[in-house]
Amino acid sequence: MQLLHFKKQLKKHKKSFTSERKQIFLLAQKMQHFSAQELFEALKEKSKISRMSVFRTVQLFEQIGVLRKVITNSNAVRYELNTEENHHEHMQCSVCGQIIEFPDNSLHNQLEKIAEKHDFKIQEHSLFLRGLCKKCNH
Ligand SMILES: [Zn+2]
Ligand SMILES: [Zn+2]
């Protein structure tokens, strides 16, 4: 997601484009699969932003579709920018915790077919695999 799209998204939901929101967005662009806490840690060195407002902003971003939750089985909720152009799913190693992304183009078609059989319209989906990565499997 580009900055321009981000601005549009805010406008669409009648939210203003503040410097705090911009800061958080730009940081989210650079990080992958981050938690709100990690965002806060990265920000607090350069700005006076409070933990509370980082958490609130992350929540807002999720509501307006700027961020999406990365579903993992662990308690830590992680997020990533919602990039329609680059839809992918995740698998996580249960030993080292590394998260691996994989594209799901062909899976997506499969899911559409399954849903169709049930006369079901998919609005969103996410797939999460847990297992052992190459390194930890040896
Ligand atoms: Zn591993
Ligand atoms: Zn991802």
CATH of residue 70: 1.10.10.10
The ligand placed nearest to the CA atom of residue 34 is 2
Range of the domain at 69: 3-81
Residue 117 located in a structural domain: yes
What is the rounded CA–CA span in Å between residue 79 and residue 98?
15
Average the pLDDT over 121-138 and give the result.
Answer: 89
Cβ–Cβ under 8 Å, residues 87 and 104:
yes
Q: pLDDT, tens digit, for every residue of 49-89?
A: 999 999 999 999 999 999 988 876 666 788 999 876 667 88
97 alpha carbon to ligand 2 midpoint, in Å?
Answer: 14
32 & 65 share domain: yes
pLDDT greater than 90 at residue 12: yes
93 alpha carbon to ligand 1 midpoint, in Å?
Answer: 5
The ligand placed nearest to the CA atom of residue 79 is 2
Number of domains in the chain: 2
Higher pLDDT, 105 or 71: 105
20 alpha carbon to ligand 1 midpoint, in Å?
Answer: 35
What is the rounded CA–CA span in Å between residue 67 and residue 49?
19
